[in-house]
Each structure stands twice: as structure tokens, then as C-alpha cells.
Structure 1
Amino acid sequence: MDTIRFNYTDLPIGERAAFELVCARHGFAPTHFDISASDDPDDNSHQSRLLTIRRGGWAQSYHEDTAGHWVRQFETDLNCRFFK
């Protein structure tokens, strides 16, 4: 399982816009977070990735899908102050 480190601007345009909006709503800039991706070990077809978002000593992983549900899960974590 290879892990790829990338910038948030490498996300699909819709997910990138949603990520930027969520960050702004909570007083963050997208650059405050490190994002990496790897193949989803639960997906045998290798169609989805597992995104890991880090800030400081905190990290959370999200299943990336075509609907962008991970952005809503990320915002829920911000609401719970997980990354502060």
C-alpha cells in the first residue's frame, strides 16, 4: 500500500472547493493541514483511496468516495474540535 503525499490543490475541484469552504468556516486555511492518500485496504477493486489529514499531533483518516462524504466527516471533526 503506497502512501502519496500531496497538496490540497491536488484534490478534485469539487472536493477542493468544499475543503476550502469548511476550513474557512472554522477559521483555518487549507494549508494548515497535511494531506496524504493511500489505497483503501477495504476496497478490493482499488477504486477508492483513504485520505489522512494531519494537523500537529492529530491525524484522522477518511474514505474518499465519488460523493465527497469525507469532507462532511472532516467538518464534523472540526466541529468537535478534534484538530485544535
Structure 2
Amino acid sequence: MQTTVLRYTDLPIGDRAAFELVCARHGFAPAHFDVSIHADSADSTHERLVTVRRGGWAQSYYDHHGQWVRQFEADLTCRFFK
């Protein structure tokens, strides 16, 4: 299994816009976070794993059709990344 690591700017435009909106709603900018996406280049049916890091904190989310942004927002609401 070979995985490809993508960055925030490689996200689909809809995911990128949703991420930016969530960040702004909670007083952050996308630059405050390091976002990496791990995708299996050999198997497009498997979902991507999105990892968000800030400082010493990191959280990974499975990309269930953009659901990772909602999970990320829930973590921001719980102040996980503060």
C-alpha cells in the first residue's frame, strides 16, 4: 500500500471553503493549523485520513464525504486545539 500525502491546498474547493469558514467562526485562520491528507493512491475506494495539527495537539479524522470538517469543528468547540 502506497500512500500519498497531500496538503491543505490540495483539498477539494468545497472542503477548503468549509475548513476556512469553521476556522473563522472560532477565531482562527487556516494558517494556524497544519493539515495533511493521507490517501491510498492504489485504492480510491478507501477514504482519506485527514490529520490536523496545532502546536503539540493533533487529531485525525476519516473523510466520510466531508464529515471531517464537522468533527474538526466539534473539537474546536470543545477547545481541543487551544
**TM (normalized to structure 2)?**
0.84
Cα RMSD (Å) = 1.9
Q: 2-side partners of 1:45 and 1:13: how far apart?
A: 19
Residue number in structure 1 paired with 2:36: 36
Residue number in structure 1 paired with 2:58: 59
Q: Do the aligned partners of residues 18 and 3 (structure 1) sit closer, same or farther apart at CA in structure 2, a change above 3 Å counting?
A: same
Deviation at 1:2, TM superposition (A): 3.0
Q: 1-side partners of 2:13 and 2:63: how far apart?
A: 14
Unaligned regions of 5+ residues in structure 1, if any?
Answer: none
**Code of the aligned partner of 2:11:** L
Q: 2-side partners of 1:5 and 1:55: how far apart?
A: 17
Summarize deviations over 1:16-37 as a string: whole Å, max 9, x none: 1100000000010001100112
Residues paired across the two proteins, number: 79
Q: Do the aligned partners of residues 27 and 19 (structure 1) sit closer, same or farther apart at CA in structure 2, a change above 3 Å counting?
A: same
* Equivalent position to 1:74, from 72, 75, 80: 72
Unaligned regions of 5+ residues in structure 2, if any?
Answer: none
Summarize deviations over 1:36-66 as a string: whole Å, max 9, x none: 12237xxx76431101000000000001132
* Consecutive aligned runs of 4 or more in structure 1 exceeding 6 Å deviation: none
Identity over aligned pairs, percent? 70
